[in-house]
Amino acid sequence: MSSSEPPSSTPGSSANPSVSSNDVEPRPARRTVTLAIVVGGCAIAAATAIPAAAFVSAPIASKGAAGRWVRTLRLDQLVDGEPKRVAIVDDRRDAWTIERAVELGSVWVVKNGDEVSAYSAVCPHLGCSVNVAPGAGAGFACPCHTSAFAPDGKRKSGPAPRDLDTLATRIEEGFVAVDFRRFRIGIPEKVEA
Amino acid sequence: MSLLRRLGDFVDQRTGHRALLAHALDEPVRGGARWAYVFGSALLGSFLVQVVTGIALMTSYAPSEKTAWASVHYITFIQSGGWLVRGLHHFGAQAMVVVLAAHLTQVALYGAYKKPREVTWWLGLSLFAMTLGFALTGYLLPWDQKGYWATRVATNIAGTVPVVGDATQKMMQGGAEYGSLTLTRFYALHVAVLPALLVLIVSAHVALFRKHGVTPSARADLTRVELFFPKQLLKDVVAVLAVVAVVFVLAWREHGAPLDAPADPASDYPARPEWYFLALFQLLKYFHGPLEIVGTVVLPAVLGAYLFALPLLDRKPGTALRGRVGPLVPLALIAAGAVGLTLQAQHQDAGDEAFQKERLKADERATIANRIAKEGVPPEGPLAMMRRNPDLRGPELFDKHCTACHTLGAHGADKDRTAPKLDGWGTEAWVLAMIHDPDGDARFGRSIYKGEMPSVDVPSPDSPPTFKPMAAEDQAAVAAFLASFGDTAPPRDPAKAAKGKTIVAERCTTCHLFEGKGDDSDEGLAPELSGWGSVPWIRAQIANPATNATYREHALDASRKGHMPRFDGEIRAEDIDLLATWLHAATRR
């Protein structure tokens, strides 16, 4: 290390052996040194701050889980026109953790004749969990900010910016499968998160 | 420009920042700017790097026994920029230790500890201890084998201190054993307690330094006075830049920082501390039994006491090195001793074959752990992940349960072998060798089945006069068919395998079972051939070789002494699965 060097080898000290102060320093030289200090300081800051900033902002580039078909309940467990809340059970990858067969969320499933519809249980207003409204055929209601939705998911009243988000369904070997997705909250358009 | 000036005026009237800045920059440097004075600033600079990267790491690190390793793995291998941030933090810590040693050396050589700067020196010593505290607590946080075992040694050393040792150790560990509380305590020390103390003491250290100013070299021209800005500041910036550059290059070259396998309290691990603690580590080898405490406590305490007392021992006026040789001799001895012990420790490890072998094994485990964790770590933690991996668990189980009779590759000793060698078992080549020469040494030659199976092409004394050697082409078909059960890919030549099936069903069932039927000779010896070599066949054979699914129902009768035993009571079902999966792959390698 340079601490063991003889002190006389200190560079830059021979140029101005007697008295030196900032005032005798020629202006252009002083400006160059100042510039060097600023550039050096910025380089040090950048070498640390840029990797750290990239690290901390990594989640911005992350995407929500892609859509996936998940089997829920058997078709014959549904009563015509009666919404049923079903859990979406599948594997979940969360940062470093992989969990097998956990509840990812829930959706509302309704059968009307041959048609089976599914609605995301996440309120498009601010993400509360939507419930059925009291009374048969009353549709859905959000318990947080009183948004109300018709039985077919259409927005009836309240602050919600759009209808309940519909999810694709299909019948697999007698089971209702749902294409489980999440959508961005609080905007009028249905956009995947 | 004038707008900027007016803004400056506005702020200055309200904060007085110009006077503050001038005070900071116009510090007089007696004797002029020198490279020798840069180490303090270099330390501050590298500490700031640690703060920035450390806070970034905190946003992804999760301190618990089940998540610490997994989150560090995520940082290192998955999160973008993670490897670099962790690499900068890892090598930045080592750089701090190096620069700290340089700073201390410079201060000692220049006599900067002397009256009236004793308190500055003492504060500096406490900062030294704190930096080592940072290194020690940080080393544990990844909760990998390296950090875990090295830190256990350190806390056990704390435990050997008389009177307060036990309480200290329990305080540090959060109990009598290592666990999640150890991690949370070390984490709290590392990210809150030590940083707060450090900032406090650094402030006092710098304030005292500013009060007394630099200690110029004894030969310096004291009539020459420069201000801190710009010459000394430039040198300081260059020094910090150099440290950061070295750290950056190291982090880049190593692509981050190493991560060992997850901490496993049940494993054998060749524990070594980080290189700057190697001297202390080596010291412990020389003190045995009741003298142990000399290496763990007495010598380090004497060293600390000496450093503390140095300004009191060296009281003669003047900073010329010649007049201070006496008080500085111990420091030189300590430095030489530390270097010597470090080299000795490295030399001994390099020449220690057992250690190298253990190290290699540990590295292999780390590589596998880091690979499989990319698929995610279960909530039960990384050890559960390791336990459920056939590549890791398989060889362990094989060594423990199978090598008494079998060998496979480097597993098991051939002199102890009383059952077939398993290399290549299940492949076409193995079947060809088996049907030609069943009693070969690698096959039944040393087992109780020696002499029980006839060759298909070499007549034996028991062969009937009608014996006709099997055509080479038919042998190849039989081999292709039997090997196909264990193949993951469909047979390359389906017609050949189909022909093999016909031959097996006709010719082998005199003794063997095939799809549950056969054994016309009624001897009850030869195993089932359908599924032979597949994972289910191996699993069934390990669990219980006397079910007709593999070997026959009488295989474990007293008359068949020496037959492979059943393991279903001894090895858990999940482990039998893993062993079968691994064996299936390993025999084919």
Other C-beta atoms within 10 Å of A80: how many?
A: 8
| pLDDT attached to residue A5 | 38
Q: How far apart are CA B541 and CA B564, in angstroms?
A: 9
Residues in A closer than 8 angstroms to B80, CB to CB, are 54-55, 58, 61
Other C-beta atoms within 10 Å of B164: how many?
A: 11
B520-543: buried (b, 16+ CB within 10 Å) or exposed (e) per residue? Answer: eeeebbbbbbbbbbbbebbbbbbb
| pLDDT attached to residue B560 | 83
- Give the residue from B30, B34, B222 with the most A CB atoms within 10 Å of its CB, the best one to mutate: B34
| pLDDT attached to residue A135 | 85
| pTM greater than 0.95 | no
Burial class (CB in 10 A: 0-12, 13-18, 19+), B68: buried
Contact B208, B123 (CB under 8 A): yes
CA-based nearest residue to B300, from B334, B267, B266: B334
- Dihedral sign of CA atoms B304, B306, B307, B309 in order: positive
In angstroms, the first-to-last Cα distance of chain A is 55
For chain B, positions 248-277, list CB contacts with chain A under 8 A. 248
B49 touches chain A (CB under 8 A): yes
Note whether B48 contacts A56, CB cutoff 8 Å. Answer: no
Residues in B closer than 8 angstroms to A47, CB to CB, are 49, 244-245, 248
| Nearest residue, CB atoms, A3 vs list B60, B74, B106 | B106
CA-based nearest residue to B373, from B388, B361, B359: B388
| pLDDT attached to residue A25 | 54
Residue in chain B closest to A1 (alpha carbons) equals B102
| pLDDT attached to residue A3 | 39
Position B156, amino acid: N
In angstroms, the first-to-last Cα distance of chain B is 75
Residues in A closer than 8 angstroms to B238, CB to CB, are 40
CA torsion, ordered A16, A21, A25, A30, to nearest 10 deg: 120
Residues in B closer than 8 angstroms to A34, CB to CB, are 230
Note whether B53 contacts A11, CB cutoff 8 Å. Answer: no
Q: How far apart are CA A118 and CA A102, in angstroms?
A: 20
A193 touches chain B (CB under 8 A): no
| pLDDT attached to residue B289 | 87
B46 touches chain A (CB under 8 A): no
For chain A, positions 111-130, list CB contacts with chain B under 8 A. none
Residue in chain B closest to A96 (alpha carbons) equals B376
B366 touches chain A (CB under 8 A): no
- Give the residue from B30, B96, B231 with the most A CB atoms within 10 Å of its CB, the best one to mutate: B231
| pLDDT attached to residue B262 | 97
- 3-state secondary structure (DSSP) of residue B17: helix
Residues in A closer than 8 angstroms to B101, CB to CB, are 1
Q: How far is B148 from chain A (nearest CA, A)?
A: 20
Residue in chain A closest to B37 (alpha carbons) equals A3
Contact A56, B59 (CB under 8 A): yes
Residues in A closer than 8 angstroms to B73, CB to CB, are 96
Whether A6 has a pLDDT exceeding 60, the answer reads no
A73 touches chain B (CB under 8 A): no
- The pLDDT-based confidence of A27 (bands split at 50, 70, 90) is low
- Dihedral sign of CA atoms B321, B324, B326, B328 in order: negative
Position B32, amino acid: G
Residue in chain A closest to B50 (alpha carbons) equals A48
A157 touches chain B (CB under 8 A): no
Q: How far apart are CA B95 and CA B46, in angstroms?
A: 8
Residue numbers in chain B where pLDDT is lower than 50: none
Contact A190, A160 (CB under 8 A): no
A55 touches chain B (CB under 8 A): yes
| pLDDT attached to residue B113 | 95
pLDDT, tens digit (0-9, with 9 covering 90-100), for B188-246: 999 999 999 999 999 999 999 999 999 998 888 888 888 899 899 999 999 999 999 99
Whether A2 has a pLDDT exceeding 70, the answer reads no
Q: How far is B470 from chain A (nearest CA, A)?
A: 51
For chain B, positions 100-129, list CB contacts with chain A under 8 A. 101-103, 105-106, 109
Q: If you write DSSP's letter for every residue of B150-206 in order, what string do you get?
A: HHHHHHHHHHTSTTTHHHHHHHHHTSSS-SHHHHHHHHHIIIIIHHHHHHHHHHHHH
- The pLDDT-based confidence of A26 (bands split at 50, 70, 90) is low
CA A81 to chain centre: 34
Note whether A51 contacts B237, CB cutoff 8 Å. Answer: no
Percent of chain A beyond pLDDT 90?
73
- Helix, strand, coil percent content, chain A, rounded in steps of 5: 20, 35, 45
A93 touches chain B (CB under 8 A): yes
Which range is least confidently modeled, A45-49, A96-100, B452-456, B459-463? B459-463
Mean predicted confidence (pLDDT) in A1-18: 40
Q: Report the DSSP beta bridge partners of residue A183.
A: A192
Residue in chain A closest to B74 (alpha carbons) equals A96
Per this entry, what is the length of chain A? 193
For chain B, positions 471-530, list CB contacts with chain A under 8 A. none
CA-based nearest residue to B249, from B91, B96, B138: B91
Residues in B closer than 8 angstroms to A40, CB to CB, are 234, 237-238, 240-241
CA-based nearest residue to A29, from A43, A15, A17, A41: A15
Note whether A97 contacts B73, CB cutoff 8 Å. Answer: no
Beta-carbon contacts of residue A38 (< 8 Å; ≥ 6 apart)? none
Position A17, amino acid: P
Note whether B378 contacts A97, CB cutoff 8 Å. Answer: yes
B241 touches chain A (CB under 8 A): yes
CA A22 to chain centre: 54
Whether A21 has a pLDDT exceeding 90, the answer reads no
DSSP B272: -
Note whether A48 contacts B88, CB cutoff 8 Å. Answer: yes
A26 touches chain B (CB under 8 A): no
CA B234 to chain centre: 40
- Give the residue from B72, B84, B370 with the most A CB atoms within 10 Å of its CB, the best one to mutate: B84
Beta-carbon contacts of residue B257 (< 8 Å; ≥ 6 apart)? B76, B83, B86, B87, B89, B90, B91, B251
Q: How far is A134 from chain B (nearest CA, A)?
A: 39
Residue B328, token pair as written in the block: 């500085």
| Nearest residue, CB atoms, B244 vs list A36, A47, A97 | A47
B557 touches chain A (CB under 8 A): no
**Does the ipTM exceed 0.90?**
no
- Give the residue from B234, B322, B385 with the most A CB atoms within 10 Å of its CB, the best one to mutate: B234
Q: How far apart are CA B189 and CA B325, in angstroms?
A: 39
A100 touches chain B (CB under 8 A): yes
| A vs B: CB pairs below 8 A | 150
A20 touches chain B (CB under 8 A): yes
